[in-house]
């Protein structure tokens, strides 16, 4: 088989890139290790930056988002009984959009299917060859048969556990990592959200987050130990612990119900450099991970896709490779800033096992500064709504 861009991974990065290329007449194939149903069963964050929404519009996939999403003009931060709001619109002129990542992926799959573009599911043993030359190819097996795709470029969109990153030789690749000593236990429940905007809660017992998908679907998280398993937490134990971490007015207003999903995610900051090697380009989780505090996972993937898409368009329309050649440098500049924000916001809100009383006082002082200082609020808001591409 031959295509212009072979995309490895059918998560949101790969599907968004594929759809943008497809709409612009650039032929591409997506190779996905799992089934479509599996990909669409993963529950992820649900806060989108405007830059992401614009990309979805460019990809022709924003219709349902515009009909069903919610615009949030600010967010709440609590510590103990104290609570304050950061107003994104007065600070930056821009709100964020609440719409589940699973729904974004569903819309991208629907658009790809109606465009007739090729997506191969259940592929195994993907191997990238010749990315450092002019004629790369991707080998894989499907239903026990060996296949090969010759292409101009390979987009490695296969997430943190994929093969693309490791195709960059060890002596070229440098990885930076911070693993946090706790996880997030999250539940989805068919209950009205406790509040109309998100609440990020710092408490003596650890972090909590009140988020949502719609008027009757709530997403809540509590910081938990890495050794916990979701089975250790009954729904009742989860709700009790969440209440203890919220200011009492909100704890009292919390409506509870059975969980329809419950899972634990570890927290990690990770960046690989460079994000390109010859004709191989990494996008999204294949190249970097952020802790979920601030919901930058999908949004950082989107800026990679934006830069790569524009580099490819420029190349195919004018033969100019300079955008592609600068991809890693351009993408990483924004990625590191999003890494910094996610790390900072995580550090501000969680209890760390080795935290001293002094460290705790520093967190509270920083929260009080943020509460009272417009410049600090503006800096937070600019990062939360998304730095420019």
Where does this chain bind ligand APR (CB under 6 A)?
A: 8-14, 31-34, 39, 44, 101, 123, 126, 157-159, 161-163, 284-286, 297-298, 301
Segment interacting with ligand PHB, rule: CB under 6 A, options 60-68, 151-159, 292-300, 364-372: 292-300
Residue 155 contacts residue 7 (beta carbons within 8 Å)? yes
The answer to whether 295 contacts ligand PHB (rule: CB under 6 A) is yes
> Three-state SS for 140?
strand
Residue 45 main-chain phi, psi, to 5 deg: -65, 175
Residue 5 contacts residue 280 (beta carbons within 8 Å)? no
Distance CA 94, CA 376 (A): 17
Task: Tell me the closest approach of the beta carbon of residue 217 to ligand APR, in angstroms.
Answer: 19
Residue 138, contacted partner among ligand PHB, ligand APR, none, CB below 5-8 A by kind:
none
Task: Tell me the closest approach of the beta carbon of residue 253 to ligand PHB, in angstroms.
Answer: 19
99 included as an active-site residue? no
The contact pattern for ligand PHB, residues 196-235, with x = CB under 6 A and - = no contact, is: --x----------x-x-------x----------------
72 included as an active-site residue? yes
The answer to whether 45 contacts ligand PHB (rule: CB under 6 A) is yes
Instruction: Please state the length of the chain.
Output: 389
**What sections of 254-321 are H helices per DSSP?**
297-318
Options 296, 306, 315, 316, the catalytic residue = 296
Task: Give the CA diameter of the chain.
Answer: 63
Q: Determine which residue in the list 10, 12, 46, 386 makes contact with ligand PHB, applying CB under 6 A.
A: 46
79 included as an active-site residue? no
Give the closest residue to 288 by CA, choosing from 230, 248, 340, 218: 340
Torsion over CA: 329, 298, 286, 201 (sign): positive
388 included as an active-site residue? no
Bridge-based pairing of strands 174-189 and 280-282 is: unpaired
Binding footprint of ligand PHB on the chain (CB under 6 A):
45-47, 198, 209, 211, 219, 292-295
**Catalytic residue positions?**
72, 200, 292, 296, 384
């Amino acid at each position: 088989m031959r295509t212009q861009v072979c995309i490895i991974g059918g998560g949101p990065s790969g599907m968004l890139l594929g759809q943008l290329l497809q709409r612009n007449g650039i032929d591409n194939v997506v190779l996905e290790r799992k089934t479509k149903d599996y990909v669409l069963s993963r529950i992820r964050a649900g806060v989108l930056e405007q830059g992401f929404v614009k990309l979805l519009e460019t990809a022709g996939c924003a219709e349902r988002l515009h009909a069903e999403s919610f615009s949030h003009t600010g967010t709440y931060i609590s510590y103990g009984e104290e609570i304050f709001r950061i107003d994104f619109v007065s600070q930056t002129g821009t709100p964020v959009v609440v719409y589940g990542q699973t729904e974004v992926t569903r819309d991208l799959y629907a658009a790809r299917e109606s465009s007739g573009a090729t997506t191969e599911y259940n592929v195994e043993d993907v191997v990238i060859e010749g990315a450092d030359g002019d004629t790369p190819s991707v080998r894989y097996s499907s239903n026990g048969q060996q296949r090969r795709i010759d292409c101009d470029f390979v987009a490695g969109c296969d997430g943190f556990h994929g093969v693309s990153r490791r195709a960059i030789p060890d002596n070229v690749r440098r990885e930076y990592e911070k693993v946090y000593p706790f996880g997030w236990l999250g539940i989805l429940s068919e209950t009205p959200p406790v509040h109309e905007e998100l609440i990020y809660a710092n408490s003596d017992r650890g972090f909590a987050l009140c988020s949502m998908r719609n008027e009757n679907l709530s997403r809540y998280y509590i910081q938990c130990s890495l050794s916990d398993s979701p089975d250790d937490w009954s729904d009742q134990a989860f709700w009790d612990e969440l209440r203890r971490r919220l200011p009492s007015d909100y704890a009292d207003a919390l409506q509870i119900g059975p969980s329809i999903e419950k899972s634990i995610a570890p927290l990690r900051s990770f960046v690989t450099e460079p994000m390109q090697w010859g004709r191989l380009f990494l996008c999204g989780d294949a190249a970097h991970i952020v802790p979920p505090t601030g919901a930058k996972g999908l949004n950082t993937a989107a800026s990679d896709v934006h830069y790569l898409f524009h580099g490819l368009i420029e190349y195919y329309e004018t033969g100019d490779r300079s955008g592609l050649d600068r991809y890693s440098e351009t993408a990483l500049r924004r990625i590191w800033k999003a890494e910094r924000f996610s790390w900072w916001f995580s550090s501000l809100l969680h209890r760390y096992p080795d935290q001293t009383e002094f460290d705790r006082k520093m967190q509270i002082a920083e929260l009080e500064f943020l509460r009272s200082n417009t410049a600090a609020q503006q800096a937070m808001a600019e990062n939360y709504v998304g730095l420019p591409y």
